[in-house]
Amino acid sequence: MSADWHSHLRQSAQARHEAHRWRQRRVHRQDAQRLDMAGNDYLGLAADPRLAEAAADGARRFGAGARASHLVTGHSTVHEALEEALARLTGRPRALLFSTGYMANLGVIQALCDSGVHLLQDRLNHASLIDGARLSGARSRRYHHNDLDDLARLLDRVPDASRRLVISDGVFSMDGDCADVDGLAELSRRHGAWLMIDDAHGIGVLGENGDGSVGRRLGCERVPVLVGTLGKALGTAGAFVAGDDALIEHLIQFARPYIYTTALPPPVAAATLQSLEIVASEPERRRHLDGLIARFRREATSLKLPLMASATPIQPILLGDEQRTLDWASTLEDAGIRVGAIRPPTVPAGASRLRVTLSAAHDDHDIDRLLEALLTCQKQESATCIGASR
């Protein structure tokens, strides 16, 4: 008799409910009175009317969809123009578009790795990098977060004849801190390893030109594989890999998530080209964002909020307890502010946090609203503790 699939689904759901970790989607509607401090629209471009008009023009010129994969008939002039613009942004010879960041990371790792590769990556890397390693067949180890000494120890154990690939996020999505890319590049060079950086949360935000934590500063010789997404600071959707000609040609030939999927919709590519023009011509967006980050951290520190060490738009407030995190998020929601309530398994047990994200679309009044709501959370919690002690 075959196994009962519905029983399996019920048991899985029950276990998730009992752990108080059941996830629910919410339908978010545009509301001028509600602050979005949960998303990744770091430069405030997702709702920019210039991007909407560029997308509409792209749809009129090229159609709503790409119709086929890049290697069939899906690769149009607007895709080619976007790849060239992304290569210029990152200071690399070429770039290759992927439909999502998840697919880009899976595609790179799958195309580069096999059982003869030793893959070493940061313990806090994005799930797509962890999954890519699992699917690749490579011998994979994870070093302690941002610990170059631990990475060096693991690299020393790799046989001399083996190919080595070191992988790290540029900006870590849940902690908001940055990798020591220079240190990783030097350590990789000394051990004959390639370095891959997923700069999803750095592109558009970091760097003098918005070129990220790697960008033009570190070329292909030091960071051979650079991944970035279009759906965060650039405000659209999709992803890219930038590198030299040999890398890009290899991915075109062997990266299955690139080969076997429909190309990025042309309107999205057209909107992203417009976004890149804005990133280049309006550096004041980044300066404004940097000012908001500095002010929030200064004021939050004075309130003794448990901030984590981040100088990026990702500003986690480490609360530890899962229910406490949900309670604070609910209070903020009541105040018209959306933040991410991040719990295990996304973060380790005991490391639940509010993931506050700041944007160039915010202003000082928005920061005041956030700080006032966080102060309310503290007061409510204090009152509850006093009441419980009586």
Q: Catalytic residues, which ones? A: 173, 201, 232
Q: DSSP assignment of 278-333, as one string?
A: HHHH-THHHHHHHHHHHHHHHHHHHTT--B-S--SSEEEEEEE-HHHHHHHHHHHH
What gap in Å lies between CA 178 and CA 122, rounded to an integer?
12
Cα–Cα distance between 254 and 223 in angstroms, integer?
20
Q: Is 126 annotated as a binding residue?
A: yes
Q: Any idea which residue has 């990220």 for tokens?
A: 212
| Residue 23 known to bind ligand | yes
280/172 Cα distance (integer angstroms)? 24
75 is in an annotated binding site: no
Residue 230 CA to residue 371 CA, distance in Å, equals 30
For residue 98, report the phi and psi dihedrals to the nearest 5 degrees: -125, 160
Degrees to nearest 5, angle at CA 250 with 248 and 254: 120
Annotated binding-site residue? 173: yes
229 is in an annotated binding site: yes
Q: Which tokens belong to 147?
A: 């610990």
Assess contact for 323 and 20: CB atoms under 8 A. Answer: yes
DSSP-derived 3-state class of residue 196 = strand
How many CA atoms lie less than 13 Å away from 41 in the CB half-sphere? 15
Q: Dmax over Cα atoms in the chain, in whole Å?
A: 72
Residue that the structure tokens 């448990």 belong to: 306
Q: Which residues fall within 8 angstroms of residue 256, CB to CB, at 6 or more apart?
A: 107, 110, 111
CA 114 to chain centre: 25
Is 145 exposed, middle or buried (CB count within 10 Å of its CB: 0-12, 13-18, 19+)? middle
201 is an annotated ligand-binding site residue:
yes
384 is in an annotated binding site: no
Binding-site entries for substrate:
23, 126, 346
As annotated, the binding site for pyridoxal 5'-phosphate includes: 101-102, 173, 201, 229
Instruction: Name the binding residues.
Output: 23, 101-102, 126, 173, 201, 229, 346
